[in-house]
Amino acid sequence: MYPIGTEKAITNIDRNNEIQYVVSLNATKKQIRDEFEKLFGVKTIDIRLINTFQNRKKAIIKLRKEYKAGDIAVKLKLV
């Protein structure tokens, strides 16, 4: 699991309080949620999964309003 640092992903951090990750092809939403919440100590609202043409799975993780995706991006040195 690693973060995506494209321009669109960075825009979604501030605009939608979302952070994007590339995850294992076998990972489920429950597994992703549990791991992400454990790593960063935050709570999530929603996780959307996208299978890409490059044979990768992308997770778009939306955080609750009391947590800021920008704070996580700073910890990950994305911003």
According to the 3-state scheme, what is the secondary structure of 38-77?
A: HHHCCCEEEEEEEECCCCCEEEEEEECCCCCHHHHHHHCC
CATH fold for domain 2-75:
Alpha-Beta Plaits (3.30.70)
Q: What is the pLDDT of residue 79?
A: 81
Q: What is the pLDDT of residue 60?
A: 97
Q: Domain residue spans in the chain?
A: 2-75
pLDDT in tens, 20-79: 999 999 999 999 999 999 999 999 999 999 999 999 999 999 999 999 999 999 999 988
Q: What is the pLDDT of residue 39?
A: 94
Model confidence pTM above 0.85: yes
Name which of 10, 30, 29 is nearest 20 in CA terms.
Answer: 10
Q: Is residue 1 predicted with pLDDT exceeding 90?
A: no
